[in-house]
Amino acid sequence: MHELLKQNQKIWDLFTRKEEYYPTNLDGHGRFLYDESALEQAFEPKVSIYLLDQGMEIEYPENKTFAVCLTHDVDDIYPPLSHSLLSSVNCLKNLNFHDSVTHILWKFRGKEHSPYFNLSEIMDLEAKFGAKSSFYFIAAEDDPIRFRYYIEDMEHNLGEISDKGWEVGLHGGYYSYNNPEAIKKEKKRLEAVLGKKLLGFRNHYLRFRTPDSWEILADVGFRYDSTYGLQNSVGFRNGMCHPFRPYNLKKNREIKILEIPLVIMDVALFTVSKSYEEAWECTKNLIDTTEKLNGVITLLWHNFVFGCSFRKDWVRLYVKVLQYCYGKGAWMTSGDEIYRWWENRS
Ligand SMILES: [Zn+2]
């Protein structure tokens, strides 16, 4: 595939994201900052279009035409006070006194009553549409904002997720994305609780350096990454709406990891959209594009969204995506399933 891409310099530069190698513009979290024209361009997966024109053929199980990779970053298991207050006030506005109180008082009833202990609910929802997903858990000790949770306390939940056939992956710590030793430690810690090897990874805050982060993840032993997306918009970061093997221009070689690029993150989608309708329109366009090109569209919906009362629109949109893609006969599944399929394809 790389040889084919190299024949077209423009396509090659877009695919490798050459301009990210020596970035001049980074945001406060060290992430590459795109200008308006690059964000505009991200709606068109030019590299995938080129590959299909050149004869690339993609097949999915049971002759499905495209895939939807569903993922959740488990940032919070216990709502921070700000979330509890927002949820509570929101319920009051809707005259829902019972839930309003629940959002504040869950702590006194025990940790397991936390509204963000909602992973089974999310799986139940997805199962209704014949879908599965990936949950990426934090196993880092440090976080810039707040204590998140002890992964050891989640042993039972990880077991349930894994037994049901959903995926547990690592949500790399904020400070770890450029630190192989730290990622290795988190991987070991999560694997010890889960009792099996991890395949998938996504970094907290989508912190990522092209191409170094891929090299680190491959060295540490991850099989796929799904961090590679836009933090302040939606779309195809390097023109790909298919999983791919990244290429390191500094070392002139392929990197031994599969990237399943992130296309829509809930927070980014609702930041760029002025309304629910606009968010849906944008999502629908990206789904339709992916379908046309037999691609894979990866969604990230944080688990807290399903347990608070001030993000009801976000949940509504997620359900709408499930309905819409179910209607199209899409393969809706987790990152590890996509990874296995992709690797065994040829
Ligand atoms: Zn996160």
- The pLDDT tens digits of the residues spanning 8-29 come to 999 999 999 999 999 888 999 9
Q: Separation of 181 CA from ligand 1 center, angstroms?
A: 19
Q: Separation of 173 CA from ligand 1 center, angstroms?
A: 8
Query: What is the distance between the alpha carbons of residues 61 and 333, in angstroms, rounded to a whole number?
Result: 11
CB 202 within 8 A of CB 168: no
DSSP 72-133: EEE--SS--HHHHHHHHHHHHHTT-HHHHHHHHHHHHH-GGG-TT--HHHHHHHHHTTT---
Q: Separation of 144 CA from ligand 1 center, angstroms?
A: 11
The tokens describing 330, both together, are 């899409």
Domain ranges of the chain: 2-77+119-345, 81-115
Q: Separation of 229 CA from ligand 1 center, angstroms?
A: 13
Q: Separation of 222 CA from ligand 1 center, angstroms?
A: 18
Q: Separation of 1 CA from ligand 1 center, angstroms?
A: 32
Sign (positive/negative) of CA torsion 302, 140, 334, 221? positive
The CATH number, out of the four listed (1.10.150.120, 3.40.50.300, 3.20.20.370, 3.40.50.1860), of the domain defined by the range 2-77+119-345: 3.20.20.370
Q: Separation of 207 CA from ligand 1 center, angstroms?
A: 10
Q: What is the pLDDT confidence band of residue 145, given thresholds at 50, 70 and 90?
A: confident
Question: Which of 126, 130, 151, 127 is closest to 140 using CA atoms?
Answer: 151
CB 119 within 8 A of CB 157: yes
Flag whether the pTM goes above 0.85.
Answer: yes
Lowest mean pLDDT among 23-37, 67-81, 85-99, 139-153: 85-99
pLDDT in tens, 27-37: 999 999 888 88
CB 324 within 8 A of CB 291: no
Q: What is the pLDDT, as a whole number, of residue 265?
A: 98
DSSP-based three-state secondary structure for 84 = helix
